[in-house]
């Protein structure tokens, strides 16, 4: 039997995502009510400025006083899609204190202060859901913390930023340079006017922190995530990748150590074999590859950004939170019981592709090989091309730690025969 009194929802933010959430709540009201067991009512919408026409939203619901809205006391669920750290953090905390559960899409805040927000939700017996914070419409957080709750996740490897994937895919498929591909992404609306958060890996790093925390039952903050942007990736890097049967992706990688005592989380461009499922992810799409003991290898794929896809994830959380509200229960909270060590990047072990500019004369290869050996880095393959006294030397290593590779490169730079290090890129997915 359906309850007739509606569950009241406060919406913080009415931009691309917020307006789509409001639209779906209105147009799908009967279906949402049937799925929840009670109608849901949009009780207020907090925005920065009033006066702008917002299609489908009663102007009487619009307010610039977000604090008063979340403190009303009759609000059941607060949907936060304004982003940023403040005032979002204060508003979410106030929502818990005044009896509301929260659905958020705020990756930056959750990556920085997720533990404190979970603690506040638990203290007041409320829900904190955030499926939309990581991969848009792709169901990922719920499978990790519920469907795989009985399994042991060892690795999460993913493309979690559509802007960067579009740029790299364009460079791969057309031979375009970075700036040319970025300009096209901007013209098509895939990149912001200031793309720094995307291309420098800040967006993906926040998502990696959230994913690592859930996957490994350990608190991983944004500061724990190694971050390297993709602005230095060149057309020459793609040519080298193709010669190896690879492409290049900006990856978020979260791994459990082999002995199970530590985890790492990192974001950086990497070569990945064309045979790997992530290599076929094109355009602005996202995909995340999960490896676990019992389930084996799983891949989650779909649109990772945009108003409708993100709103889909928000509404999925809204339905779940409203059901919990009716049942007088809460869903899963933070799981950090494992409390594993978060290791620094220097301890990460992977393969490397190093391109060197060297003098074209006898003995150069031997000198370079000696440096690698002295630092305990084993060479897999070497390719050398020379002309008119100058040459390029491409070295692909076996697996080595980031610290040992850094020492190797520093020593290589001191050789008289090495003119410069053209590029260094990790090789993942093997």
What pLDDT, on the 0 to 100 scale, is given for residue 264?
Answer: 98
**3-class SS at 241?**
helix
Say which of 8, 126, 170, 207 is annotated catalytic.
207
pLDDT in tens, 326-373: 999 999 999 999 999 999 999 999 999 999 999 988 889 999 999 999
Confidence of residue 34 (pLDDT cuts 50, 70, 90): very high
What pLDDT, on the 0 to 100 scale, is given for residue 51?
Answer: 77
pLDDT above 80: residue 390: no
Is 207 labeled as catalytic in the residue annotation? yes
Question: What is the pTM assigned to this prediction?
Answer: 0.94
Q: Is the dihedral of CA 197, 199, 205, 211 positive or negative?
A: positive
**3-class SS at 302?**
strand
Q: Which residue bears the tokens 């795989």? A: 148
Cα–Cα distance for residue pair 39/36, rounded to 1 Å: 7
Q: What is the DSSP letter of 6?
A: P
Q: Which residue bears the tokens 């002309």? A: 387
What pLDDT, on the 0 to 100 scale, is given for residue 45?
Answer: 97
Cα–Cα distance for residue pair 329/294, rounded to 1 Å: 29
Per-residue tokens: 193: 């006017």
Contact 384, 393 (CB under 8 A): yes
């Amino acid at each position: 039997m359906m309850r007739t009194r509606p569950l009241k929802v406060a919406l913080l933010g009415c931009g691309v995502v917020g307006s789509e959430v409001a639209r779906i709540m209105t147009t799908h009201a009967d279906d949402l009510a049937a799925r929840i067991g009670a109608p849901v009512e949009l009780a207020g919408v907090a925005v920065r400025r009033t006066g702008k026409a917002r299609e489908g939203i009663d102007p009487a619901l619009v307010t610039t006083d977000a604090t008063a809205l979340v403190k009303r006391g009759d609000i059941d669920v607060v949907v936060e899609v304004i982003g940023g750290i403040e005032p979002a953090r204060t508003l979410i905390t106030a929502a818990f204190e005044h009896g509301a559960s929260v659905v958020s899409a705020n990756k930056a805040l959750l990556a920085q202060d997720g533990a404190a927000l979970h603690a506040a939700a638990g203290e007041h017996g409320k829900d904190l859901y955030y499926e939309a914070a990581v991969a848009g419409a792709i169901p990922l957080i719920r499978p990790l913390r519920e469907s795989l709750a009985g399994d042991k996740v060892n690795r999460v490897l993913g493309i979690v930023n559509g802007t960067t994937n579009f740029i790299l895919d364009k460079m791969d498929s057309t031979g375009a340079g970075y700036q040319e591909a970025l300009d096209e992404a901007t013209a098509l609306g895939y990149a912001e006017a200031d793309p720094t958060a995307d291309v420098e890996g800040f967006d993906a790093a926040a998502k990696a922190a959230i994913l690592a925390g859930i996957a490994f039952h350990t608190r991983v903050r944004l500061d724990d995530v190694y971050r390297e942007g993709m602005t230095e990736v060149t057309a020459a890097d793609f040519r080298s990748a193709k010669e190896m049967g690879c492409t290049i992706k900006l990856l978020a990688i979260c791994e459990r150590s082999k002995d199970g005592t530590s985890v790492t989380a990192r974001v950086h461009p990497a070569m990945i074999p064309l045979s790997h499922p992530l290599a076929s992810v094109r355009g602005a799409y996202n995909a995340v590859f999960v490896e676990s003991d019992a389930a084996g290898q799983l891949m989650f794929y779909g649109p990772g950004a945009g108003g409708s896809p993100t709103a889909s994830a928000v509404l999925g959380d809204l339905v779940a939170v409203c059901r919990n509200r009716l049942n007088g229960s809460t869903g899963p909270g933070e799981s950090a019981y494992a409390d594993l060590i978060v290791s620094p990047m220097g301890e990460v072990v992977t393969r490397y592709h190093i391109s060197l500019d060297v003098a074209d004369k006898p003995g150069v290869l031997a000198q370079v090989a000696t440096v690698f050996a002295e630092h305990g880095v084993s060479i897999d393959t070497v390719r050398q091309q020379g002309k008119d006294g100058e040459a390029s030397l491409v070295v692909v290593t076996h697996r080595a730690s980031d610290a040992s590779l850094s020492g190797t490169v520093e020593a290589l730079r001191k050789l008289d025969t090495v003119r410069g290090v053209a590029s260094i890129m990790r090789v993942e997915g093997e």
